Structure 1
């Protein structure tokens, strides 16, 4: 939730604990929409088919690339860089 921009949407997928800490001031000040979903059965075959067909391009989601030695930076980039969408670790770098 801390990386979502103003008026963004946060979707909680699957099952979690009965209670979780919620940064309520962030939700209110940034006017975030928060929703949960549990039923996502049979969605992976559809998603995979969309990617394979080229209808959905995943490359554009990658905002940062790191070598294996920079794994910690890859895992934490979203905490300090608002442009971070998807960090990828390339072991061969």
Structure 2
């Protein structure tokens, strides 16, 4: 029969109180970027498809960038249709 030659270590004393600091730091919220120069925003364009210009009817945030009502954006035709259907872009 095999025996274990190591001795059993005593359990750690869990009654000893250690100072515990409460960490309540929160990461600062990143500032939203202003609207960039007119580039295609939203989903990428499929190959061979030209972007269309839409005018926003309401405030909208796309990819973390705020766009105010009246902003003109270049978007893919599919995305323009979705924006118009949801009421974010004016009907042309």
TM-score of Structure 1 vs Structure 2, range by shorter chain: under 0.3
User: Normalized per residue, which structure has more strand?
Assistant: 1
In the superposition, the TM-score normalised over structure 2's length comes to 0.17
Q: TM-score, normalised by structure 1?
A: 0.17
